[in-house]
Chains A and B, each alone.
Chain A
Amino acid sequence: MNWFTKTFSSTIGRKIVMSITGLFLCSFLVVHLLGNLQLFKDDGGAAFNIYSDFMAHNGIIRFMEIILVLGFLFHIYDAIVLTRRNKAARPIDYAEQRPQENSTWSSRNMGLLGTVILVFLIIHLWNFFVPARFGGLEGVVIEDVEYENLYLRVMESFNVWWYVAIYVISMVALAYHLIHGFQSAFQTLGLDHKKYTPFIQGFGYFFSVVVCLAFAAIPLYFFFFK
């Protein structure tokens, strides 16, 4: 192995990859959320449908989509590699454990939370991304231009109670994943300083809760008010 692969196959190197991809995925969440906030606009979905059409066909977005997929893949791949390694590092477990005395629940269950998020992601992509991107939605005409009506699909989906439940539960999982993950990413990069770390931790908590609340508000809004 050369120095590069050695670096990124070490435990610390893999964690660095996870932290960079994790922070990148956080930035994606922000973009995604900002776009989705248009669902709250009371215009019959016009703004949202125009926006989703833009997202599905713009060249830069398409390129970023590839980066995003890679980000997910590296994040997940290294998570799996490290989780397997970590399990192997303790082949016989303790008969009695009181980890609640020394660490937070979310920090110890990132794998579980990540898995929930992954399952959610597959459902989510299958329901919205695939038809929006590869066709299968009804058409709608807005200001003389034909668009695919993703808004309709959102409305239909979020009128099913168990579908809404999946979303809300997944957003709770995401919140916990981020509560640990956001500040952990900074630690993994060694970005730790007496002056700034308290801010990073506070902001990370705020970010996790607000972003996930906002995402969860969408299905709830549609279920109860549309």
Chain B
Amino acid sequence: MAGSNPNAKPMDLTLKVWRQKDRNTPGQLVTYPVKGVSPDMSFLEMLDVLNEDLLLKGEEPVAFDHDCREGICGMCSLFINGRAHGPERGTTTCQLHMRHFNHGDTITIEPWRAAAFPVHKDLVVDRSALDRIQQAGGYISVNTGGVPDANEIPIPKTIADKAFDAATCIQCGACVAACKNASAMLFVSAKVSQLALLPQGKTERKTRVENMVAQMDIEGFGACTNTGACAAECPVGISLENINMLRREFIAAKATSENV
């Protein structure tokens, strides 16, 4: 079976892949040739091919995170040729196709780099820091049942759309990976904005932003210096406006909340 482009020729590539046994063992870039890569393959399918080759040779395959392979679960997380999720904007690694590379290319593949994201193995990192930030306040405190009818809370469409845009964050960590400071501000701001915009989230907005920012700092992420790299590399287009909203929330909360 051929792909959608019958003229696409298979490519030979050289991969430089970060290999690291476990969290405590230092790693290094290892070079692998890959031959006959179809331009219709996704980047991860190209790695599948490499791994099948390695396996047949009795070598350990390259470990990398991936799951849905349709750009929504946020599990895939590769730093490809110096870019989070590779050269295509608005694209997760799993949705990156080999047609964006050329025959003979050398491709460097590294894990997300951040103190808060220790490497488990090869290209697999521990992003549980992001979960802990969510646990610090990324929710609205309602128990199941006993809530008002859904249409009792009208929400202007523009507000609902804005909240939705912020809520589409896939928690992949590309913002941290791309930021020169390994800052998680875009990620944190997406959740804070979503819930601060909606009337349901306003009750807890002050405590939420205070706690989430505090946890973000505890986890060891860097400070945001407004380079904008995060939003430029975000595969789902989370906007920098969210970061500014987070700061407004933070300043208002610190100035007026009862938490001393």
Contacts and interface: CB of A to CB of B under 8 A. Distances in A.
Interface of A: 2-3, 6-7, 10-16, 82, 85-86, 88-99, 101-104, 107-108, 110, 180, 183-184, 187-192
A31 B114 CA distance: 42
Main secondary structure of the interface of B (DSSP, over half): mixed
Contacts of B43: none
B241 interface: yes
A102 B113 contact: no
Contacts of A14: 223
Interface of B: 16, 18, 29, 79, 81-83, 87, 108, 110, 113-116, 178, 180-183, 213-214, 216-217, 220-229, 232-233, 240-241, 243-251, 254, 259-260
Contact of A10 (B79, B183, B214, B229): B214
A107 B251 contact: no
8 contacts: A10-B213, A11-B221, A12-B213, A89-B222, A95-B110, A101-B83, A103-B180, A189-B251
A96 B81 CA distance: 6
Main secondary structure of the interface of A (DSSP, over half): helix
- Which of B82, B221, B249, B259 is most buried by chain A, counting CB atoms within 10 A of its CB? B82
Given A89-B221, A107-B227, A107-B228, A98 B83 contact: yes
Contacts of A192: 241, 244-245
A177 B205 CA distance: 34
Contact of B232 (A10, A103, A180): A103
Given A94-B110, A99-B180, A189 B247 contact: yes
Contact of B220 (A89, A93, A98, A183): A89
Contacts of A110: 225
B82 A88 contact: no
Contacts of A102: 83, 178, 227-229, 232-233
Contacts of B243: 187
